């Protein structure tokens, strides 16, 4: 995480290093640094050279940049359903020196419904979801490699981070990691209406 300057991915630069979530507009937030650290810690065994990662609800592009540094020669797909955020994330990534990674396709920033994953580049060694789904989307589980791991907040009022593991035989197990409070994983219209 130290290779990526969070100030390039927030609106209020003076608050870039506070350990709290921050609004990035369009009803979205950038998670607190400690939550990004938890995500990386739990996904780390599935990251490395040549690995493929899906970052759902990629927002400003910050965690996608961090993930890129952890999968040299691999691919990070950053998906968000708000086109303005996808455009802004591309700009942020370029400002942070990652324009060549975008140009090579090492980071792919796309507009789409992350609840459905991104089948064009599936399957993924690791999937990070940055907003709370009411239940675990089956399409994301289906796009996880065997073996693979997903880090996803789940729930509506009460939320838990769930670690979803798929073993080499395709068997899926789930483990509750911690209670959290995330914005909901919704569609673009729901987000524009305020969920």
List all residues 6 or more positions away from 131 whose beta carbon is below 8 Å from its beta carbon. Answer: 56, 57, 153, 182, 183, 184, 185, 186
Strand order in the sheet with 52-56: 107-111, 75-80, 52-56, 124-129, 144-155, 159-166, 172-180
Q: Give the other-Cβ count within 10 Å of 87's Cβ.
A: 13
The one catalytic residue in 14, 20, 31, 146 is 31
**Is there a catalytic annotation at residue 20?**
no
Q: Give the other-Cβ count within 10 Å of 79's Cβ.
A: 23
Residues assigned a catalytic role: 31
């Amino acid at each position: 995480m130290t290779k990526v300057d969070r100030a390039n991915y927030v609106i209020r630069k003076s608050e870039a290093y506070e350990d709290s979530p921050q609004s990035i507009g369009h009803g979205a937030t950038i998670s607190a640094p400690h939550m990004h650290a938890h995500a990386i810690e739990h996904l780390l065994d599935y990251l490395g050279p040549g690995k493929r990662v899906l970052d759902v609800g990629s927002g400003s592009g910050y965690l996608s940049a961090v993930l890129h540094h952890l999968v040299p020669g691999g691919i990070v797909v950053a998906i968000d359903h708000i086109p303005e955020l996808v455009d802004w994330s591309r700009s942020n990534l370029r400002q942070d020196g990652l324009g060549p990674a975008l140009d090579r396709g090492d980071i792919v920033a796309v507009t789409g419904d992350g609840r459905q994953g991104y089948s064009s580049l599936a399957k993924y060694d690791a999937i990070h979801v940055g907003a709370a789904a009411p239940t675990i989307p089956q399409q994301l589980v289906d796009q996880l490699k065997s073996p693979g791991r997903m880090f996803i907040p789940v729930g509506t009022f009460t939320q838990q981070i769930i670690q979803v593991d798929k073993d080499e035989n395709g068997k899926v197990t789930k483990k509750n990691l911690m209670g959290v409070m995330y914005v909901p994983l919704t569609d673009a219209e729901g987000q524009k209406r305020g969920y």
